[in-house]
Structure 1
Amino acid sequence: MLNLLNALLRTNAETEILEFKTAEQGFDKNKLGQYFSALSNEANLANKECAWLIFGINDKHKVFGTKITDRTLNEYKQEIASNTSPTSNFINTHRVNVEGKQVLMLQIPPAPKGMPVDWKGHCYGRNGSSLSALNNQERERIRLQNYVSDWSEKVVEHATIDDLFVGAISEARKQFKVKNPTLKIEEWNDIKFLNKAKITSQGKITNTTILLLGKPESEHFIKPAVAKITWILKDRDNIEKDYEHFGCPLLLSVNQVYAKIRNLKYRYLPEGTLFPDEVDQFDPFIIREALNNCIAHQDYTLGGQINLVEREDGILIFVNSGAFIPGCVEKVVAADAPETYYRNPFLASAMVGLGMIDTIGSGIKKMFVLQKDKFFPLPSYNLDNNQVKVKIIGKVVDINYARKLAQSKSELTLQEIILLDKVVKGVTLLNAEIKMLRGKGLIEGRKPNFHISSSIAESIGEKPSYIKHKGIDNEYCQNMILKFLDKFEVGNRQDFEEMLLDKLPDVLSQQQKRNKIRNNLQSLKKQKLIEPQGKLWKMSKPKN
């Protein structure tokens, strides 16, 4: 990274995609968000892989160094994720030592094609090295990137109906008939059918046609795009055991991939009549919905393939290339309505006609509901690195949480369950999510170590678990320290840690527990109840 930094320093001046800031002690979060939006949008307009924001060096290239900590950096990342739309974040962050001082390099991704990145509702850009609003012309240039050309609708020159797989056309007819039972499809020849099903365009073969119905050897027509789904089986230690590639026609490949997945029966622990005896690990709808979404929303211009990783410990991971256009999964679930824009509208329309996907916005929500009804963890979406990664867990991970969902009489909404699922998984909550959960009394604790609140725990018979998470309070902790010193006269940090560590909240890390003990010792010192004696502590007042 030092060589790259030196190359950036050789730039005569700041540019639209390069910014230097002194930031010795820190940087204003709102200003950081504005620069993130501006640099991301400018990287898109310049067709660059990234932009750079450098902390610890001023615009004259003088090195000051920065004292920004990892903790502060994580706060910056959370702030960016919370307030950018579509949701974005740094590609990577790098610390480089220059002249004995630390320089922080923040790598910013370009805005997704067709989608300018805004910060708190405002799109920013650059006028040379100056921060400014993204002007209307630049905004439209970005927004028109995908509207001008739908990759999936492009006509494939020199391809004919002979390049399509007969069996795939036959299957497409069957599926189209299911969706349109009143049409006399059997009277149509193949060319008319493909036009009516909107798989071809005015009788011409499109990228969509090749993807869904092409012969395996026809994939070359859509290069550099790739029509490939790779299934990978991994063991519990994440070691690859088997794999297989599936190509054109994807209409048939979906069924072949589905057949590879070992959808075993999951047996619940005995809980009376609380849980069913057994269920499939993965609902067939979830597998097909996730896989077909990968096909429909893949950014084929990136040349990547679709991956499906099956783990023997009951987890499926679906990965496709391209940003998640809605920006946030929770928004999709809450809206329960069609998106206003699709990356591949022609392909999406064809897949709707064949019953592969729907466009009413209910597919993802149904996936969440099906997992909830089994008391399994909800689907997890990772939207980093310009790809969408969906993890489906086909088992109960936290029996207490599963019991909570099964017994709950609190009538939690799906949105609330999604957020409580994050709490159980230890996922960092956004500020708005914290505010909502706290406002409804659903969580307690200090950021980032939240736990389900006592009101919810009591209503579902989990009060002991709540007490375990909440742990002992400061007053009890200090009383224990005083009793120890009253009995033994002196004690060191190790004595107090041995006495108190296992009594502190489970949601705290070991270091956080030690910090809590240290803070209570300092509190007692300020109250003039105890005092240090070298590395030991003793009572400040004489014993009674």
Structure 2
Amino acid sequence: MSQNRDIEIVDDLRARSSENGWLEFKKNWKDPFKIGIYISALSNSARLEGKDSAYLVWGVENDTHEIVGTSFDPGLEIVGNQPLEMWLRQRLSPAPAFHFREVLHPSGRVVLLEIPAPILAPTAFDSIAYIRSGSATPKLSEDQLRYQALIEKLRPYTWENGVALSYVSTSDVLRLLDVDVYYRLLGESRPDSDDRVLERLEVERLVRNDFGARWDVLNLGAILFASNLSDFGPSMARKGVRFVRYSGADRTTTVTHRQDGKKGYAAGFENLLEYVNGLLPQNEHIGQALRESHPLFPRLSLRELIANALIHQDLTITGAGPQIELFADRIEITNPGCPLVDTDRMIDQPPRSRNETLAALMRRMGMCEEQGSGLDKVFREVEVFQLPAPLLRSTEAAMQVVLYGPRTFAEMTPEERVRACYFHTVLRFMAGERMKNTSLCERFGIDKKNAAQASAVIGKALDAGLIKYADEDHPRAGYHPWWS
């Protein structure tokens, strides 16, 4: 952590009129039990007062806020047989990621303890949570009103709001983030003033003001607009989109192309799509009079599926990012994290995303469809091209969509036929219609004289419990999805 930033933190805290619920000044005080209680009380009070961090500062006089220096050295303090910091961590729960930092201020030696506010539960010391009340630190349980208020303030951790890089100058923010892409995708002109640009980025929660004239680049800003993700450390770099193309139909074949995304998702999205589309095999389609070449996979569907992988991934999973694998007959798009909606219901149910701010901004920038209208359009386009239905596959660690190249009905497996029948039924139901033998024949490109083939597929879908009769008394009236 930068000494300059710590000096600015100390000066900013000293400039305040008095101590408060998330700030305490001390001189040489070093009682380990009281330090533990203060960490709990300051941390909880910070969350209650809408602060991300609390501060305990040694070496500053309480009344005048003058720097007087301190002899307290947390690195030399031993409690029992343990270093003070380790001893405290074992007794705090959930243990905040605090660190003692020595600050060599021009006016004297200061020790700064920056304490994160709690995220999921109140911070407790020896199983007891404390709170600040004036200069006292009573048990949180003794103040039920403030306890309830704190519980309401606690919320699940939002990765987008985390800090990717702190204490960054204005010029470095504009170097690290591709601001031109931000304004271009929103169809706006970039202001001439850098200050106005930073104000806009702060409103979008891409950056936030740190101490002095410095900024924190938030995870949302980095993951979307980074000129180079590696500038924000290896963890962020590993969230770049990886693309691999194989020469054949499985991973044992030769890798012909490989690219690890270096830019943020918004900054690199169009170039990524152009790169992938440029490598797609072509499929010859015979129209009424001409032979026309089309990509093996519909481009609009591919765009939507890649955007969905970026939006719906679990960004809290470290060491993993979205991956696109292109084979001779299919493309597989994988993102970290188990989906929040069952794969059978992804078309008809509203999408649920762990990253709502990221999703909303990507939609505003036109990178994907409006909420709830993307995946159903993918399946409709697949039907227009009479492709096998995409395979939606989830595990505890990842979500994968497999988009297949053209295959005739005869070339599809029984499983693929039943899956296509189910999703065709869902699309018909969403349009206020019923799936029938005739519509399924059209879906598969089956000649009417071979309608028995579609009937056989419908029978298997009924046996699998994926569809049901729309009217039990009139079986020929059509079919609905099982959940309707």
TM-score w.r.t. length of structure 1: 0.44
Q: Greater helix percent: which structure?
A: 1
TM-score w.r.t. length of structure 2: 0.49
